């Protein structure tokens, strides 16, 4: 068995497998170690336009054409109908009688998806193996040591003992994962974010929403559905195999009131508080054991060293709200791929990895400021909506800028490094903890130069479709001509109406 590698990756979720494939394409020898065995359930399922853009770009840049179809519902259904996923046309929010519907794609063919991770992660690890990545499952690493030039990993994979040496180690094991524990690292706080807990499972028999607004721009269940209440929220994500993922994230106060740690009985108590959800879950039953997380958020005090780095998903996590995890993970994979490509043998590798750690941490903090402000406004839906629009304006502007080849217009996750939007949005997010009467109007004023989706237009009554006209009217905000926007829309399949059945 080979023992010397350029790169060892610990953790074969989608992040580890994708990183392994990319490193292999860059000419590295790669070993990928996984403690479990595929297929297995994993959480973290809902993609976004930004995460799919990143996935598509990684598959093009690193010549992984078999990955590209996963970036859109239509190509996924045509290419890999056997890999379960869900159709995600947008973000649906319910709050008592109020709604907010934000469309993410104009039609199904180019829509986002929810990943049924048991299938997707299994597929990706087989793809990695097919390329030549040395994959070992049931891995237990008993000894980890770093020398000047390499990391040593000693342990067992199933019955097989290993003693591996790698010039670089990437941790893809998720929050509070392998390196955080092995190196005895500390946790850092995520300022502004309340401590939260979570309880979730997969279900069969979840019915669709009965009452949907006539003006809904897409079927409200073909989305990441959020039921928001004071101190928490519930997600419902439907897959095309009859299974739905559902769970709750809640502040400690609400989590303790519901006694989330008790599992299924707590889920029933939660449903009692949310009548619409209760009726949808009347016939439902959990097809996985309930999983309870005592602490959702996490931030490692150290995210990289001289010969190692954590993927963003191992370095930190805020909350599932708004599905920021995949986009952050893929951003980190892209950054690490560039470092590996250009600097793996250079003297400044360690400095580059430190730069990566700083960027990863500042993106995490940007996500945390946003989600902290959303938790602070959960009792007041109009302020919650205003904070959400900061997110939707920033990410749709960033997505358009990237698709126009003008990434420099959108620096940092949620534009947090943008010279005007960054500091001003930070101040507004701080104000969200005590929103005054001018809060929503001030959000509107701030997003206006970045607003490419008609967000906040009172005529839309919290229902935002994707309209070509909005983008065309906003062309000047991106320094683009109308012709460039039309070309962008054509390139991205905006006008194609292929009908796809999942």
Residues that bind ligand FAD (CB under 6 A): 10-16, 33-36, 42-46, 139, 172-174, 177-178, 198, 200, 247, 311, 313, 320, 323, 325-326, 329
Distance CA 432, CA 387 (A): 8
CB closer to ligand FAD, 237 vs 409: 237
Give the chain's end-to-end CA distance (angstroms, integer).
43
Comparing CA positions, the residue from 6, 228, 203 lying closest to residue 98 is 228
To the nearest whole angstrom, how small is the minimum distance from the Cβ of residue 12 to ligand FAD? 5
- DSSP 3-state of 27: coil
Q: What is the DSSP string of 98-137?
A: EEEEEES-SSGGG-EEEE-HHHHHHHHHHHHHHHT-EEE-
To the nearest whole angstrom, how small is the minimum distance from the Cβ of residue 242 to ligand FAD? 19
CB closer to ligand FAD, 145 vs 438: 145
CB closer to ligand FAD, 158 vs 449: 158
Query: Which residues make beta-bridge pairs with 271?
Result: none
To the nearest whole angstrom, how small is the minimum distance from the Cβ of residue 266 to ligand FAD? 15
To the nearest whole angstrom, how small is the minimum distance from the Cβ of residue 219 to ligand FAD? 19
To the nearest whole angstrom, how small is the minimum distance from the Cβ of residue 14 to ligand FAD? 5
Question: Dihedral, CA atoms, 369, 372, 376, 377, nearest 10 degrees?
Answer: 70
To the nearest whole angstrom, how small is the minimum distance from the Cβ of residue 150 to ligand FAD? 19
CB closer to ligand FAD, 232 vs 325: 325
To the nearest whole angstrom, how small is the minimum distance from the Cβ of residue 16 to ligand FAD? 5
User: 350 near 172, Cβ under 8 Å?
Assistant: no
Comparing CA positions, the residue from 33, 206, 224 lying closest to residue 115 is 224
Furthest C-alpha separation in the chain: 67
CB closer to ligand FAD, 42 vs 212: 42
Radius of gyration of the chain from Cα atoms? 22
To the nearest whole angstrom, how small is the minimum distance from the Cβ of residue 296 to ligand FAD? 6
Angle ∠(425,431,432) on CA atoms, nearest 5: 90
Alpha-helical regions (H) of 201-348? 252-258, 264-273, 275-280, 312-315, 325-343
CB closer to ligand FAD, 216 vs 333: 333
CB closer to ligand FAD, 18 vs 480: 18
Q: Report in angstroms the alpha-carbon separations of 380 from 257, 366, 375, 387.
A: 21, 22, 10, 11
Query: Which residues make beta-bridge pairs with 196?
Result: 251
> Whose CB is nearest to ligand FAD?
44
Place of tokens 């359930």: 41
CB closer to ligand FAD, 173 vs 300: 173
């Amino acid at each position: 068995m080979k023992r010397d590698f350029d790169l060892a990756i610990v953790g074969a979720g989608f992040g580890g497998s994708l990183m392994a494939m990319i490193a292999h394409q860059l000419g590295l020898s790669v070993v990928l170690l996984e403690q479990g065995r595929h297929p297995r359930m994993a959480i973290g399922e809902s993609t976004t336009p930004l995460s799919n853009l990143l996935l598509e770009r990684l598959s093009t840049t690193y010549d992984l054409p078999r990955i590209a179809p996963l970036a859109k519902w239509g190509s996924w259904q045509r290419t890999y109908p056997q890999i379960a996923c869900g159709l995600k046309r947008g973000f649906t929010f319910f709050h008592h009688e109020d709604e907010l519907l934000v469309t993410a794609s104009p039609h199904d063919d180019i829509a986002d998806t929810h990943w049924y991770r048991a299938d997707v992660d299994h597929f990706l690890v087989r793809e990695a193996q097919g390329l030549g990545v040395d994959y070992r499952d049931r891995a237990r690493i008993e000894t980890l040591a770093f020398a000047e030039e390499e990391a040593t990993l000693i342990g067992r994979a199933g019955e097989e003992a290993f003693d591996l040496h790698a010039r670089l180690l990437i941790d893809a094991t998720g929050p509070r994962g392998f390196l955080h524990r092995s190196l005895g690292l500390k946790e850092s706080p995520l300022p502004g974010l309340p401590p939260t807990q979570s309880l979730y499972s997969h279900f069969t028999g979840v019915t669709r929403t009965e009452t949907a607004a006539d003006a809904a721009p897409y079927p409200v269940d073909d989305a990441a559905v959020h039921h928001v209440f004071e101190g928490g929220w519930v997600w419902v994500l439907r897959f095309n195999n009859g299974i739905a993922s559902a769970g709750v994230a809640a502040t400690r106060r609400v989590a303790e009131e519901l006694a989330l740690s008790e599992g299924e009985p707590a889920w029933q108590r939660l449903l009692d508080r949310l009548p619409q959800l209760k009726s949808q879950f009347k016939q439902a039953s959990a097809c996985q054991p309930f999983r309870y997380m005592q602490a959702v958020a996490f931030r490692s005090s150290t995210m990289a060293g001289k010969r190692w780095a954590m993927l963003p998903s191992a370095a930190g996590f805020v909350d599932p709200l708004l599905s920021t995890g995949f986009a952050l993970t893929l951003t980190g994979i892209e950054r690490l791929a560039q470092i590996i490509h250009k600097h793996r043998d250079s003297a400044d590798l360690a400095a580059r990895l430190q730069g990566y750690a700083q960027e990863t941490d500042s993106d995490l903090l940007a996500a945390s400021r946003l989600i902290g402000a959303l938790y602070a406004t959960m009792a007041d839906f109009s302020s919650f909506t205003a904070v959400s629009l900061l997110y939707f304006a920033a990410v749709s502007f960033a997505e358009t800028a990237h698709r126009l080849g003008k990434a420099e217009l959108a620096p940092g996750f949620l534009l947090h490094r943008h010279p005007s939007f960054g500091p001003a949005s930070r101040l507004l997010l701080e104000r969200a903890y005590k929103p005054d009467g001018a809060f929503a109007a001030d959000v509107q004023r701030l997003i206006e130069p970045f607003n490419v989706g008609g967000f906040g237009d009172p005529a839309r009554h919290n229902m935002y479709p994707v309209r070509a006209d909005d983008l065309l009217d906003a062309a000047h905000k991106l320094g683009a001509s109308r012709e460039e926007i039309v070309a962008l829309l054509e390139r991205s399949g905006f006008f194609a109406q292929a009908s796809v059945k999942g």
